[in-house]
Structure 1
Amino acid sequence: MEELARLAGITVRTLRFYRERKLIPPPRREGRIAWYDDHHLARLRTIAALLERGHTLNGIAELADAFDHGRGVGDLLGYGPPTEETPVRLTPEELAARFEGEVTPENLAAAMDLGYLGTDGDEIVHISHRLLDVSSALVREGIPLAEVLKAGARVREHADALADLFAEMVLRHGTEPDLQRLRPLARNVVAAELSLALDRRMRRQDSSNSSHSPNSSDPSDPYRS
């Protein structure tokens, strides 16, 4: 315990307090000897980093519980890593830095349920570098992470339906290798249609703003020229 406290830069008293609060897992015991390892040291460094970022000990305890009971990286990746997406490994403090003030037990659990995050020892694995970058960029723009995750769940439903539609069309006229070979075409169709849909949405928004403008023409206005 003394060696672990020294390496973590804390007092033995603080370490005992963290153990009592269940912020770190119990040591491995051999008779009357308690053995700590790199996992305990990594957890203590994470606690220190989260405290520096303004998290409370109660909040850190809840995060630790969510982290310890989250799905493992094997469940996240299934039978293998994504064929086109690049998974990203993060420490808990790196995740907190990307989503300043938004890493809560609720958001962590939601991201794990959605299949964005998994755990691997003391690290967190995000299934897609692109999704991680987009999510953190949206949060930096002021959109709450909880809203980003809710939108991600809805997008997942539509994406699954689109994948089924494309796969069924290809497999009616080809084979499984054709599906893998032609997947860039599906990606391009979805990207183009989404771009066009955003154009239509913005035009409707512009039209709505114009109709409500104080300078817009109102046929019921008796002073309209």
Structure 2
Amino acid sequence: MDEELTVDQLAAKVGMTVRNVRAYAGRGLIAPPRLVGRTGYYGRDHVARLTLVRELLDKGYTLAAVERMMGELPDGELALGVFETLVSPWTPAEPEELDEHQLAERAGVPHDPAVIAQIVELGIAERLPDGRLRITNPDLLRTGLEVIKLGVPMQAIFEMLPKLFAQADAVAKTYVELFRSTVWRDFTKAGMPADGWPDIQRTLEGIIPLAGQALVAAFREAMAREIEQVAYEELGLNPGNLPSTG
């Protein structure tokens, strides 16, 4: 039999207070427990749905938005599986915390408060109450620092980043709309049947890495064309005489 938990055990397992568990149950976010006398017992479906509620709230969704989403998702572990499939492959590395001087040392440049202010303005770092910096996406910072070490001026990178973010948003919207207008549309037209959710999850698990691979392949080809064109413009070289950049 599945493990069954009292409300106190359930709250401890999902990292909530008993009061919150009861409040979410009252809003219909989890099914009623199995009653034995006056004691309610909760199973793994309750754990999965409350875990999903906590994850969504932690990511900044309002409780009203969570209620709407939960109303359209299947019960228990299926809902949690779909959510984790959506967010896990693209979740950045864990945020890092460091002070301004540590960041300057890592970049190999003198400490400059104006540079730090730009980094915060671009959203690369958040200022903590104690004055330290929280790097929300360390992979992005690491990549930028490597480009600086190659000799590209920091200011040029700062000017390029908003364009990069906008282009990344556009590509992401293209792929998400592809899924939404095909597989998801057919699924919702069919009434979102419970036995169709595993197929939705498998599609997501497959399409997300394939989207990344297609983007990298297209970028390499586009980069090769741009390098050849710039070589012709700057050096007067015939692109046909250049070694292959692909």
TM-score (norm 2): 0.48
Following superposition, the deviation at residue 156 of structure 1 comes to: 0.3
Per-residue CA deviation, residues 172-211 of structure 1 (Å, 9 max, x unaligned), is 1234855565222222222111111111112223333553
What code does the residue aligned with 1:130 have? D
Q: Quick one: distance in 2 between partners of 1:105 and 1:78?
A: 30
Question: Residue 102 of structure 2: SS of its match in structure 1?
Answer: helix
Instruction: Give the one of 164, 177, 181 matched to 1:168.
Output: 177
Distance 1:139 1:211, change over 3 A: closer
Contact 2:96 2:134 in 1 (8 A): yes
Question: Residue 142 of structure 1: SS of its match in structure 2?
Answer: coil
**More helix by percentage:** 2
Contact 2:120 2:126 in 1 (8 A): yes
* 1:1-225 alignment runs, 5 A limit: 79=60, 83-86=90-93, 87-101=95-109, 103-120=111-128, 121-175=130-184, 177=201, 178-179=203-204, 182-209=207-234, 211=236
Per-residue CA deviation, residues 135-157 of structure 1 (Å, 9 max, x unaligned), is 11111222222211211111000
Q: Quick one: distance in 1 between partners of 2:156 and 2:107?
A: 13
Question: Residue 97 of structure 2: SS of its match in structure 1?
Answer: strand
Identity of aligned residues (%): 18
Per-residue CA deviation, residues 109-154 of structure 1 (Å, 9 max, x unaligned), is 2222221101333431212222111111111222222211211111
Contact 1:102 1:145 in 2 (8 A): no
Q: Quick one: distance in 2 between partners of 1:93 and 1:211?
A: 44
What code does the residue aligned with 2:215 have? V
Q: Which residue of 2 aligns with 1:17?
A: none
What code does the residue aligned with 1:194 have? F
Q: Quick one: distance in 2 between partners of 1:131 and 1:188?
A: 19
Q: Which structure 1 segments of 5+ residues have no match?
A: 1-76, 214-225
Distance 1:110 1:179, change over 3 A: farther
Contact 1:102 1:144 in 2 (8 A): no
Runs of 4+ aligned structure 1 residues displaced above 4 Å come to 80-83, 176-181
Contact 1:117 1:127 in 2 (8 A): yes
Following superposition, the deviation at residue 101 of structure 1 comes to: 2.9
Q: Quick one: distance in 1 between partners of 2:106 and 2:220?
A: 27
Q: Quick one: distance in 2 between partners of 1:137 and 1:154?
A: 19
Q: Which residue of 2 aligns with 1:50?
A: none
Distance 1:103 1:171, change over 3 A: farther
Q: Which structure 2 segments of 5+ residues have no match?
A: 1-57, 62-86, 185-199, 239-246
User: Aligned-pair RMSD on alpha carbons?
Assistant: 3.1
Q: Which residue of 1 aligns with 2:68?
A: none
TM-score (norm 1): 0.52
Distance 1:119 1:210, change over 3 A: closer
Q: Quick one: distance in 2 between partners of 1:199 and 1:130?
A: 24
Q: Quick one: distance in 2 between partners of 1:119 and 1:181?
A: 37
